[in-house]
Structure 1
Amino acid sequence: MAVLPKKFVPLAAGGVVAVLLVIGGAAWWMDKQHYEKTDNAFIAADKVSVAPQVDGYVAEVLVGDNQQVAAGQVLVRLDTAPLKAALAQAEANAAALDAAVRAVDDKARLEQAMIAQKAAGVASAHAQAQLAQAELARYGTLATQGWVSPQRAQTAKAAASQASAGVEQARATLEAERRTAESLGSSRAQTLAQAQAAHAAVEQARINLDRAEIKAPVAGVVGARAVRPGQYVRPGSALMSVVPVQNAYIVANFKETQVSRLKVGQPVTIRADAFGKQAFKGKIDSFAPATGSEFALIPVENAVGNFTKIAQRLPVKIAVDPASPLAGALRPGLSVEVKVDVTADTGPGFAQAVSAAQLARTGASR
């Protein structure tokens, strides 16, 4: 084998280095043309905080830390004795008001009978008045002819006046009974409304009794369990969280200089530090409506004199392929690296999505 002279060794080494640089640069350029990457990405999930809706003492805690639970599974039971007592009291109050409504109905039926009786009394008094008027007319004629004494005629006149007064009294009594019957209608409406409110209280007491069993709102894994038997809890106090790890997704924060090449539906290769070099697949689901800094507690104020432009990052939601063997093993908060194949022509890109939203808003305003 021929040996190169020593003076050509640096040239050969330089040539090799140049070739390697060209190959490396070409590989980097090809990779840059095909993919957008970021390591500013994290696993997330829509965790749900579990809180009681009624107050009471905890009787049982039926789940442990990091336990898998199904949707609707009972997690905690509260002491039901006070709630059962409240339900019994509400039922008794409702029964009493139902009886009060029936009492008003019974009194209304009695009033109708009394009205009929008083109407008959009016008819009787009217008949008596007519008879008294006829007697007055007859005795008045006989008195003018001298057939009866003036005293008898005066007696007939007094009887007629008394009969007329009896008619007025009977009519007044009938009117009073009718007004009493009318007042019973409003009294019944008021009592019926109270009875309906009492039945609503019974239903609320039943709901509160059902809520003594605190159930899992979604399927997932129990975390941050802060409840123990015997503890007194109030509505809204956090007892634990349920994390639906099977529905975990990725939030990748891409620089604003990268998002122009991203499109909904583009395939994504994901690697998590927790799983070593094992990769799993996903796809771009959607773009956030604002950069991460806009959702900060104190947003950055750029209208100042010492402004320095810094590339902002836009959160991009990446859906994990449910068929991936790691789909159910992901835990929110873990960091990942994502690589998006931007050559795939799938859904609308970031610019198109913004334009479509702008057009929809303009059409709605018109």
Structure 2
Amino acid sequence: MSEALQPEQIAPAGSPPEGDNSGKDTAGNPKNGKKKRRAMLTLLVLIAVCGVVGVRWWIKGKTHIETDNAFVEADVIQVSPRVGGTVARVLVSDNQYVKQGELLLELDQNDYRVQVARAEAGVGVATNETGGEYRKAEAARASVQLAGARLDQAVLDQQRAEALFKREVISREQLDRLRTAQRVAQSQFREAEESLKRALAEAGLSSDGPNRAKVLQQQAQLDQARLQLSYTRVTAPTSGYITRKNVEPGANVQAGQPLMAVVPLQKAWITANYKESQLTHIRSGQQVEFRVDAYPGQRFSGRVDSIMAGTGAAFSLLPPENATGNYVKVVQRIPVKILIDSNSDPRHLLRVGMSVIPTVLVDRTTADVLGDLNPFR
């Protein structure tokens, strides 16, 4: 009979065989240590990458000043007639591109042609009247010469009478008559001179030569009538796009009444409202890159033209009165005018009022930005 089994030789059911380590703690496994070191290294790399990216993003924020409070603006030139009348023709439509000097609309010219004809007739009448007044002046000049001759003769007669009276050849009565005749001739001479002056004044003559006052007056009225006739043709004040057209043929318009507007998009600019804390390093002439919501993915360029003399709130209709009541500090925004490079928008895609995100490339390097962190400088 076989020997009885020892207690230590009897293994309980389901126990692992001798020499099997699968049931031991796996904390000391070399593979798990490698995994931990690899995860730690990966975490450190991610932290380093995030730090580098964060620093670069922070530096870019200091050298690329950006805002989303910006819009496209342009001059809006109102087109108004300089004279009133009935609209005869309208040659443009909304959103049409026109060149400077191109005819936009035309008023009825009949009334103004009549005024021109009347002014031309006035010039002719003034010319004829001036000719007649010239003749009157010549007649007055001849009268002066005649009165002068009579005066000379009267003076001679008086002198002879004085000599004859001394020799008692003539009586005192005859001498008195000759003296009276001399005074009458002198008065007639003065009257003729005054008549000549009046005739010269009526004819518009002076010592410097002819001054055709009446003719010039009528000529000025003729020029004015012709000018008003030319105002019946309303032309484009500048090259641009027609907008807000509110006139049609047959309408009766008045002088100065807005009929349409011309927007020169080729001269558009951007008004960017930067925070006052962002203007530290923005200067005129710096390059600008901007994006437009209407054209995603397309980049435009420009340059800083000028910075407004005050904040937008300071020039508002009701500026704030910070000296009264409770004061709450609010970050102010200052408009910056940015000119658009014509090469970046050759087709004039930008329209007035479009939202823009401009980025000003300030003249600062990475060393300048990092130098601001030095507390001992």
The TM-score by the shorter chain falls in which range? 0.7 to 0.9
Where does 1:104-253 land on structure 2 (aligned, <5 Å)? 104-130=133-159, 140=168, 157-189=172-204, 192-253=212-273
Preserved CA contact (<8 Å) 1:246 1:329: no
- Which one has the largest radius of gyration? 2
Structure number with higher helix proportion: 1
- Counterpart check, 1:50 vs 2:79: yes
Deviation at 1:114, TM superposition (A): 0.8
Higher alpha-carbon deviation: 179-188 or 64-73? 179-188
Kindly tell me the number of residue pairs found equivalent between the two proteins: 330
Residue matched to 2:104: 75
- Consecutive unaligned residues in structure 2, runs of 5 or more: 1-30, 206-210, 366-377
Where does 1:98-109 land on structure 2 (aligned, <5 Å)? 98-109=127-138
Distance of 2:74 and 2:282 partners within structure 1: 22
Secondary structure class of the residue paired with 1:295:
coil
Preserved CA contact (<8 Å) 2:137 2:203: no
Preserved CA contact (<8 Å) 1:225 1:240: yes
Deviation at 1:34, TM superposition (A): 2.3
Preserved CA contact (<8 Å) 1:280 1:326: no
Distance of 2:286 and 2:71 partners within structure 1: 18
Preserved CA contact (<8 Å) 1:44 1:251: yes
Distance of 2:309 and 2:219 partners within structure 1: 47
Preserved CA contact (<8 Å) 1:321 1:327: no
Residue matched to 1:353: none
Identity of aligned residues (%): 33
Distance of 1:292 and 1:194 partners within structure 2: 57
Distance of 1:135 and 1:23 partners within structure 2: 136
Preserved CA contact (<8 Å) 2:140 2:199: no
Cα RMSD for the two superposed structures: 3.0
Residue deviations 1:39-60 (CA, integer Å, cap 9, x gap): 1111111221111111111111
Deviation at 1:62, TM superposition (A): 1.1
Deviation at 1:179, TM superposition (A): 1.5
TM-score, reference length from structure 1? 0.80
Residue deviations 1:181-211 (CA, integer Å, cap 9, x gap): 1233443449954543333222222211111
TM-score, reference length from structure 2? 0.78
Higher alpha-carbon deviation: 296-305 or 208-217? 296-305
Q: CA 1:137/1:222 → structure 2, altered by over 3 Å: closer, same or farther?
A: same
Aligned with 1:38 (options 53, 60, 67): 67
- Give the partner amino acid of 1:118: A
Preserved CA contact (<8 Å) 1:42 1:251: yes
Distance of 2:285 and 2:190 partners within structure 1: 83
Distance of 1:327 and 1:255 partners within structure 2: 32
- Give the partner amino acid of 1:120: A
Secondary structure class of the residue paired with 1:60:
strand
- Counterpart check, 1:289 vs 2:318: no
Q: CA 1:23/1:118 → structure 2, altered by over 3 Å: closer, same or farther?
A: same
Distance of 2:301 and 2:245 partners within structure 1: 32
Preserved CA contact (<8 Å) 2:158 2:178: yes
Deviation at 1:33, TM superposition (A): 2.6
Higher alpha-carbon deviation: 290-299 or 330-339? 290-299
Q: CA 1:130/1:12 → structure 2, altered by over 3 Å: closer, same or farther?
A: closer
- Counterpart check, 1:336 vs 2:319: no
Preserved CA contact (<8 Å) 1:272 1:336: yes
Preserved CA contact (<8 Å) 1:42 1:336: yes
Distance of 1:317 and 1:311 partners within structure 2: 19
Deviation at 1:298, TM superposition (A): 1.7
Distance of 1:102 and 1:188 partners within structure 2: 8
Secondary structure class of the residue paired with 1:207:
helix
- Consecutive unaligned residues in structure 1, runs of 5 or more: 142-152, 346-366
